[in-house]
Structure 1
Amino acid sequence: MAEQKRQASDERRVMTGIERLVLRASSMINHPLAQTQRWVTIHQLDTDSDQDWDELLSTLSETPEIEITFCDDGGVTLRWERDDEQLNSLAREGNAEMEEETAPF
């Protein structure tokens, strides 16, 4: 039993810096308040390397739906518009699924 625990801890995968940064940024972007207001400000922490930060900003800048504003304090504010077409599409799919699930009697 102790050997299994030791093997499991040896096999535990450590997250890279960019993975931690992307996870933090995704969490902030997906937060209900950010989704309601459709903007969020993200700052580079001391634990974030410049290379990881630049990679995140590069990826975000390639996303056409996101507007990036660089702040004086080194952070970035991300803004996006609600995608009404996507919402309408999801609503239609949801209605179609509900129609399929109703009993045929």
Structure 2
Amino acid sequence: MSKQQKKQRPQESRGMSDIDRLRLRISAMINGPRAQSLCQATIWRLESDSDQAWNQVMEELGETDGLVMNENEDGTVTLQWEAAIEDGGAVEEPEPEMVIQRLHEDRIPF
């Protein structure tokens, strides 16, 4: 295949669509540890995001149950949600990432 034919292929055949790329970026923002601990994430539009992709993803987010969207003055959008409640009826505390263990807590008797 010639170089000209390769350049004329649609973007979808080369990789992800604009919408999929935007969904993935917003998903990473929402699933980040800070956003999860605060139950909120602030997302923003990049210059490379098309109007169609941005509007479609904002519509999809707006239809999501339990998600509150607030448009900020600077053009960003803050997403807020309630923490998920486990089957036991209470939110479980996360396991500590590091446990400090002291090998010699008592004085050695010599």
- C-alpha distance in structure 2 between counterparts of 1:38 and 1:14, whole Å: 31
In 2, Cα distance between the equivalents of 1:51 and 1:72?
Answer: 21
In the alignment, the residues of structure 2 paired with residue 46 and residue 13 of structure 1 have an alpha-carbon distance, to the nearest angstrom, of 20
Aligned counterparts of 2:31 and 2:61: Cα–Cα separation in 1: 14
Q: Which runs of 4+ in 1 moved over 4 A?
A: none
* Matched-pair identity in %: 42
Name the counterpart of 1:88: 87
The CA distance in 2 between the partners of 1:69 and 1:63, in whole Å, is: 14
Where do residues 92-103 of structure 1 align in structure 2 (5 Å cutoff)? none
Instruction: Determine the structure 1 residue equivalent to 2:54.
Output: 53
Structure 2: gaps spanning 5 or more residues: 1-12, 89-110
Q: Aligned-pair distance for 1:13?
A: 4.3
How much does 1:79 deviate?
Answer: 0.1
Distance 1:55 1:65 in 2: 19
Q: CA deviation at 1:88?
A: 2.0
Please state which structure has a larger fraction of its residues in helix: 1
| Mapping 1:1-105, distance limit 5 Å | 13-84=14-85, 87-88=86-87
Letter in structure 2 aligned against 1:71 = N
Shift of 1:64: 1.4
Q: Distance in 1 between matches of 2:74 and 2:19?
A: 21
| Distance across 1 between alignment mates of 2:50 and 2:75 | 14
- Alpha-carbon separation, structure 2, partners of 1:50 and 1:72: 19
Distance 1:52 1:36 in 2: 28
